[in-house]
Amino acid sequence: MHLERLFADGFRNLSGVEIYPDPRFNVLTGDNGQGKTNTLETIWLLAGLRSFRTRRLAETIAFDRDHAELGARIRHHGASTDVGLRIGGGRNIVFIDGKKQDRGRDYLGKLVAVLFTPDDLRLPFAEPAHRRRYLDRAIWTHDRDFLKAMRTYEKALANRNALLRDHVGRSIDAGMLDVFDDLLSRSGATVGVHRETFVNDFMIRVQEEFSAFAPDSLRCSLRYHAKVGGGCLDVDERAELITAELGARRDTDRRRGFTSVGPHHDDLILELNGRPARVHASQGQCRAMVLAMKIAELRSLERTHGEPPILLMDDVSSELDKTRNAALMAHLDALGGQVFLTTTDAAHILVTAPTAIFNVVSGTIARRTAPGGSEPASSTGSQGA
């Protein structure tokens, strides 16, 4: 899978930008604030319809525009597909080969990407919510059914919390809470089973990759920590436990105005030699774990989809020491697949595969080298806002 074309107009500082990436490595270089990360964000949005920088897509529209247009041509298993996203007007619209799609579910999966940012390198030390977001994104790129369960749970949680907030200090119809509790328990149990099953399988792949970044004396592991209903329980058993705990904490939730039980309080625990990495591992060891997780995710998605996913790396190389950066680049060289990397210094990108270098200046993207790093190619893109 790779992008043959990428287009962005009215998106942050990108206006009328159109590039034709190399099927292997694409290096976006330039000073900070010029639009490198914005370019990665367009690909991430086209893949999952969510930004990694904001929950409100309307915030990505350029100041002088009322909407933004994103598009890409995807090459997958020998066939090309055009996808597009229009942001603005109170509603975001997706397209496949120029035809509007009424359901996001029909669109998702056309483009599969893995994102790697400096924030990911701090994953062991981050808040649990950050690890849950990482885990959920990794799961639904493998399993579309998880997305439906997650959205059902999020909607039920939002409705229950709204009911609790609106009745703080006042009585609530117990029957209404029973309805929300039942939906929340069932969908929450489904989310928990998906998460735990994925982590147990994914951990084996991470351990295999970890050996490339760490000595044999170190062993990493991942563990899904469910505060209610964890372990080898099926959906029905988990749902029963969550229902009971929601009932036990109902008075507390009514006083506080929010739901204190469910997978939105769970965590992904990273361990080194059986101990929590955030406490007992060095920064370098934690980074080695995250590198292994990203490589494992790429390999796992390749097995799932039959081709490597697209990898997006936002200035990661500058955060790594020379040894780990060299190991990462060697892995990416060997993995195959299309990669987009941002950097202020292209010298950090030490790969042997064909590479195109793009200069990014004030929303303009100009190709500096042709595939393989040969003669300079013509520029593409136009001046941004």
Model confidence pLDDT, tens digit, residues 92-135:
999 999 999 887 777 888 899 999 998 888 999 999 999 999 99
The per-type count for the chain, helices as H runs and strands as E runs, is: 11, 15
Q: Which residues have CB under 8 Å from 145's CB, separation 6+? A: 194
Rg from Cα positions in the chain:
22
CA 233 to chain CA mean position, Å: 27
Q: Which two tokens stand for residue 54?
A: 């904001």
- Alpha-carbon span 136 to 141, nearest angstrom: 9
* Residue 369 confidence (pLDDT): 63
Q: Which residues have CB under 8 Å from 229's CB, separation 6+? A: 189, 192, 237, 238, 239, 241, 242
**CB of 130 closer than 8 Å to CB of 266:** no
Candidates 155, 142, 135, 70; CA nearest to 112 is 142
- Alpha-carbon span 90 to 40, nearest angstrom: 24
- Looking up tokens 């029905």 gives 236
Surface-to-core class of residue 173, CB atoms within 10 Å of its CB (0-12 exposed, 13-18 middle, 19+ buried): exposed
DSSP secondary structure string for all residues of 95-139: EETTEEES-HHHHTTSS-EEEE-HHHHTGGGS-HHHHHHHHHHHH
- Helices of type H across 143-259: 144-166, 174-210, 235-248, 250-256
- Alpha-carbon span 30 to 381, nearest angstrom: 15
* Residue 378 confidence (pLDDT): 36
Is the Cα torsion angle 330, 333, 338, 344 positive or negative in sign? positive
* Residue 230 confidence (pLDDT): 79
Q: What is the pTM of this model?
A: 0.87
Candidates 116, 108, 101; CA nearest to 141 is 108
Over the stretch 30-79, which tens digit does the pLDDT of each residue have? Answer: 999 999 999 999 999 999 888 989 888 999 999 989 999 999 999 998 89
Cα–Cα separations (whole angstroms), residue 334 to 10, 214, 304, 353, 362? 36, 19, 18, 9, 34
Cα–Cα separations (whole angstroms), residue 202 to 16, 180, 301? 40, 32, 11
- pLDDT averages per 10-residue partition of the chain, 385 residues: 96 94 94 94 93 90 94 94 92 92 82 91 92 92 87 93 83 84 94 94 93 88 91 90 94 91 95 92 90 92 90 87 84 89 84 90 83 40 33
- Alpha-carbon span 366 to 379, nearest angstrom: 4
Please name every residue paired with 343 in a beta bridge, in sequence order, or none if there are none: 29
* Residue 61 confidence (pLDDT): 94
Going along the chain from its start, the domains and CATH numbers come out as: 1-112+310-385 (3.40.50.300)
H or E, element range at 296: helix 283-305
Over the stretch 81-92, which tens digit does the pLDDT of each residue have? Answer: 999 999 998 889
